Amino acid sequence: MRYKAVVFDVDGVLTEIDSIWRFIHEKLGTWNIAKKYAEMFKRGEIDYVKWAELDVSLWKDIPFHKIIEIIKEVKLRDGGKELIRFLKIKGLKTIAISAGLDVLTDYVAKILGIDKAVSNRLIISNNVLTGEVEVKVLYNNKDLVLKNVCEELGISPAETISVGDSEVDLPMMLKSGFSIAVNPTSEAVIKVAKRVLYLKDLRELIPVFNEILY
């Protein structure tokens, strides 16, 4: 088989929300401050790591169980379990790479049965957030993250199919052997993707994978 793994973005692809960062901010009432940090990043005044650090600093001393409660409110896109089960039957590894947060990415991976998940890690001490974050996935480095994951699995990025929706996914989509855009939010993503789908149920991807795989 030409392809050996499928790598998914999480926010907006496997979930119905497009940003776990914003979702948590809105639930905790910190969005008014956080959106100023987002504007600073967009203007090039701070880099992605600094942006993430500023964002998470707003959550210092929040009990971790409160974050878990918020995560459980996130709606997963329909058909995810069936899609992952189909891919596993076909013999493919499944990977989630997100510039979001591990609390959501790991949660989604566990529910859907995804083999490996990589995202940014919230630092927790004594069951509360310290206001710190370990940044693993930047705005523009999903290609490097994919390369590292592939090395761990003993495969090449060219043997992967990537599924994304936003410009954050472009490096990963360009690195993969085949790329699919799901509900794309950017013209650049549409141009790069070899297939473009607008869907509400991830099972709609199954016929596409059947075509690609054989």
CA angle 157, 170, 31 (to 5 degrees): 125
What pLDDT score does 1 carry?
Answer: 66
String of DSSP letters for 143-169: HHHHHHHHHHHT--GGGEEEEE-SGGG
| pTM of the model as a whole | 0.96
* Matching residue, tokens 């472009």: 170
Residue 214 has pLDDT above 80, yes or no: no
Average the pLDDT over 68-96 and give the result.
98
The Cα 201–Cα 70 span in angstroms is 23
Q: What is the pLDDT of residues 195-205, one digit of tens each?
A: 999 999 999 99
pLDDT band at 116 (very low <50, low <70, confident <90, very high): very high
pLDDT in tens, 58-67: 999 999 999 9
Q: Torsions phi, psi of 175, nearest 5?
A: -80, -30
With CA atoms as reference, report the closest residue to 66 among 138, 18, 122, 143.
Answer: 122
Residue with tokens 């203007």: 43
Q: Of how many residues is the chain composed?
A: 214
Contacts of 62 (CB under 8 A, 6+ apart): 28, 128, 129
Q: pLDDT tens for residues 123-137?
A: 999 999 999 999 999
Measured between alpha carbons, how far is 42 from 56 in angstroms, rounded to an integer? 18
Q: Each residue of 150-179: pLDDT tens digit?
A: 999 999 999 999 999 999 999 999 999 999
Sheet holding 93-101, edge to edge: 128-134, 116-125, 93-101, 5-8, 160-164, 178-182, 195-197
Sign of the four-CA dihedral 183, 17, 72, 142: positive
Residue ranges in 15-131 assigned as alpha helix (H):
20-28, 31-42, 48-57, 64-71, 80-89, 102-112
Contact 54, 37 (CB under 8 A): yes
